Amino acid sequence: MTVRSVVGTLVGVFVLGAALSAARAATAQELQKRFQERYPKLLEQKSAGKIGETFQGFVEAVKEDYTKEEAVSGLVNAENADRTELYKLLAAKENITPEKVAERNALRNFQRARPGDYLKGQDGRWTQKK
């Protein structure tokens, strides 16, 4: 095998990997649609006190027991996966880190939380918004 064929193979693998990554990465419109579809269920679980917002910009089950419920764990996983993608998209657009975007979103979510919603602060404690 020549150096040229090895380089060609590596370039082909790289291009294929990049294409697959791009195909998997959701667009902002796709993410928005999924957020909208999931919102009523998320709101329902927040109202039930099972899911809350964290200072890191993600959602979590308020109690360990709730993670055993598929309605909670599936919702948390899907929401956080999409938030992670959205934070990456926004970070690239604003030339900042995804963590900074998540931090801003967390602040906004804490401010918009309804009375009774659970919020997890930097100390790791859950409190209900009054």
Per residue in 110-129, pLDDT (tens digit) is: 999 999 999 999 999 999 99
Residue 25: predicted pLDDT: 65
Query: From residue 77, how far is each of 27, 43, 45, 82, 103 by CA, in Å?
Result: 18, 15, 13, 9, 19
Q: Cα–Cα distance between 51 and 43 in angstroms, integer?
A: 9
Strands (E), 1-130: 51-54, 59-61, 118-120, 126-128
Tokens matching residue 53: 């917002």
pLDDT in tens, 63-91: 999 999 999 999 999 999 999 999 999 99
Task: Compute and round to an integer the Cα radius of gyration of the chain.
Answer: 19
Going from N- to C-terminal start, the domains of the chain cover: 27-128
User: According to the model, what pLDDT value does residue 26 have?
Assistant: 80
**What is the C-alpha to C-alpha distance for residues 39 and 122, in angstroms, rounded to an integer?**
25
pTM of the model: 0.80
Q: What is the pLDDT of residues 4-52, one digit of tens each?
A: 433 333 333 333 333 334 445 689 999 999 999 999 999 999 999 999 9
At 101, is the pLDDT very low, low, confident or very high (cuts 50, 70, 90)?
very high
pLDDT beyond 90 at 3? no
